[in-house]
Amino acid sequence: MNRISAQTLLGWITGGRELALLDAREDGEFGASHLFWAVPCGLARKEIRARALLPRLSVRICCVDDGRGLAETLAAWLESIGYTDVSVLDGGTRAWEAAGNVLFSGVNVPSKAFGEWVEHHYGTESVDARELKAWIDSGRDMVVLDSRTLEEFTRMSIPTGISVPGGELAYRIGDLVPDPKTLVVVNCAGRTRSIMGAESLRRAGIPNKVVALRNGTMGWELAGLRCDRGRTEKFEPGTPKTAALALQRAKAFADQSGVGVIGPLELTWFEDDPDRTLYVLDVRDPVEFRAGHRPGSRNAPGGQLVQATDAWIGVRNARIVLVDDTGVRARMAAAWLRQMGHRDVFVVEGGLEAVEATGAAAVPVPELGTPVDLIDVTGLLHLLDSGARTLVLDVGRSIDFRDGHIPGAVWGVRTRLDALRPQLSAARHVVITSPDGMLARLAVPEVKGLTRADVHVLEGGSDAWHAFGRPLVKDRTTPPDEACIDFYLRPYDRNSGVEEAMNAYLSWEIDLVHEIERDGTVAFGVPGETDAAA
């Protein structure tokens, strides 16, 4: 196995060639301390995540961990499925830090650091929670637009707010706010999507005054104010009446940022190029994507792509092609990706002319085709009612287990199941589940290595159980915070110290702009542009 030093890796990061830097730890562990450009690829989800992040088998890869041997395990597995240029950082994060380099906490760090840079660079205006509350109470002519996903908005929102995910803002603002005198306030849970949403509207050149809600819903609650819960108000779907104006605005921003424009033929050439990694990302709303999309593309809603770029793009210096129906959303997202430091970013004119596929596209995972002993909900109910020693094992994310699991189920991280050996050994039947059943299928070999019981996979997972009309148990305390190594808990997800965690998170975000200066490998902005605020 090829091992490289921290000095060599630093040269790779700054050298300009394609590089995938994968951290083999689970997401919660990764969030505690990692390299700035590292992308989480925990062993429990490696089959799914690695193939999505690494579409080209010959790309250069470096695997990292904290020195526990997880990087070696990931590297060996990658080589076993055909990746040809895989290395391991010798000594892991400890060696990186010992060489004088910076480690970062948190997740989606490049995107969040970029958000802080944008606020400093462009002078994004903001309003604090108390002042916004006074504006709302006074009946000021204004609109509050929540740039998170509809799911997040429904969970908690600012009173009077409307769900307009960040990628939709510049596209739909003309219909949403036709009066140029109306004040526009953009919010998220913390800072990044508030800043990026507000600045997207400012970069688009809308005539309205636009401000971000400083510190989002966290700042709102820290100010002693109450969020609404359960609301579903959202933008009107379909092509907005002002789409032509939105395209004119988006073109100007994209041109200023150096976004390339190609046609379907050039995209085909990119797809056939064996020497470059290519990501084809459809930035439309998920509902539109499911209704029909270009074969081979993945859905990455524009605002979410910008605020969590490493969830879709695992290779630095790869080619990135964004598609949508009118060109507005693709151009806005592409402009920000260019300023984030991605050099080869393109939008496709006519990129959806070849729409064929429907449904939610998935990256092929060959391991999911391995035969397993499936059991349906009726069969599981029979086992549970029979009195046979049946253990239901949920290997989904800890946060999902908290949100709803089959009564009596136990939870475990797929690659860390040895702690459950006593329960597994005592069972006569083990039924593995996860929300959609995918991780459950992948966990069969690990479970079989720990028990002599009959091992089944619940067909359709816990979603099928719920769809059958059976209840799911919600319990925020199980597993406890310290056990959630597979998920980076946000302040809202914690069972204690929530206010302290909110303050720490917001301070961490604000300080990122200074941390990236210490790192020295980060360069935001359009090449050749000065650092003066526009």
What would the mean pLDDT of 135-149 be, rounded to a whole number? 98
- At 216-245, the pLDDT tens digits run 999 999 999 999 999 999 999 999 999 999
Virtual CA dihedral for 232, 238, 240, 244, nearest 10 degrees?
150
What would the mean pLDDT of 105-119 be, rounded to a whole number? 96
Element (H, E) at 183: strand 183-187
DSSP state letter for 357 = B
**What is the pLDDT at residue 390?**
97
**What is the pLDDT at residue 288?**
95
Quick one: pLDDT band at residue 505, thresholds 50, 70, 90?
Answer: very high
How would you class 232 by CB atoms within 10 Å of its CB: exposed for 0-12, middle for 13-18, buried for 19 or more?
exposed
CB atoms within 10 A of CB 97: 15
Whether residue 534 is predicted with pLDDT greater than 90 in this model: the reply is no
22/1: higher pLDDT: 22
Per the rule left: phi > 0, alpha: psi between -120 and 50, beta: everything else, 55 is alpha
- C-beta of residue 61 within 8 angstroms of C-beta of residue 54: yes
Beta-carbon-side half-sphere exposure of residue 281 (alpha carbons within 13 Å): 33
**What is the pLDDT at residue 354?**
67
- At 315-324, the pLDDT tens digits run 999 999 999 9
Gap between the Cα atoms of 216 and 492, Å rounded? 13
CA–centroid distance for 102 within its chain: 23
- Token pair, residue 346, equals 């393109």
Q: Looking at domain 113-240, what is its CATH homologous superfamily?
A: Rhodanese-like domain (3.40.250.10)
Class of domain 7-107: alpha beta
Buried b (16+ CB within 10 A) or exposed e, 47-79: bbbbbbbbbbeebbbbbbbbeeebbebbbebbe
- Token pair, residue 107, equals 């997740």
- At 435-492, the pLDDT tens digits run 999 999 999 999 999 999 999 999 999 999 999 999 999 999 999 999 999 999 999 9
What would the mean pLDDT of 335-363 be, rounded to a whole number? 87
Gap between the Cα atoms of 18 and 276, Å rounded? 8
Gap between the Cα atoms of 6 and 17, Å rounded? 17
Gap between the Cα atoms of 188 and 68, Å rounded? 36
CA distances from 429 to 392, 412, 426, 439, 448 (A): 8, 17, 9, 18, 11
| DSSP reduced 3-state for 355 | coil
**What is the pLDDT at residue 528?**
59
Amino acid letter at 347? V
Q: What percent of the chain has pLDDT over 90?
A: 94
Q: Looking at domain 251-348, what is its CATH homologous superfamily?
A: Rhodanese-like domain (3.40.250.10)
CA distances from 321 to 82, 229, 267, 328, 334 (A): 25, 37, 8, 14, 8
How would you class 82 by CB atoms within 10 Å of its CB: exposed for 0-12, middle for 13-18, buried for 19 or more?
exposed
- C-beta of residue 375 within 8 angstroms of C-beta of residue 392: no
The average confidence (pLDDT) of the chain is 95
Virtual CA dihedral for 498, 194, 213, 236, nearest 10 degrees?
-110
Quick one: pLDDT band at residue 141, thresholds 50, 70, 90?
Answer: very high
- C-beta of residue 131 within 8 angstroms of C-beta of residue 225: no
**What is the pLDDT at residue 532?**
35
- C-beta of residue 345 within 8 angstroms of C-beta of residue 334: yes
- Give yes or no on whether 113-240 and 251-348 have one common fold: yes
**What is the pLDDT at residue 530?**
42
Quick one: pLDDT band at residue 355, thresholds 50, 70, 90?
Answer: confident
**What is the pLDDT at residue 533?**
34
| DSSP reduced 3-state for 375 | strand
Cβ partners under 8 Å of residue 530, min gap 6: none
- C-beta of residue 352 within 8 angstroms of C-beta of residue 295: no
Gap between the Cα atoms of 168 and 136, Å rounded? 24
- Token pair, residue 133, equals 């509350």
Q: Indicate the domain borders of the chain.
A: 7-107, 113-240, 251-348, 371-483
How would you class 137 by CB atoms within 10 Å of its CB: exposed for 0-12, middle for 13-18, buried for 19 or more?
exposed
**What is the pLDDT at residue 24?**
98
What's the CATH number of domain 371-483, 3.40.50.1100, 3.40.50.1820, 3.40.250.10, 3.40.47.10?
Answer: 3.40.250.10
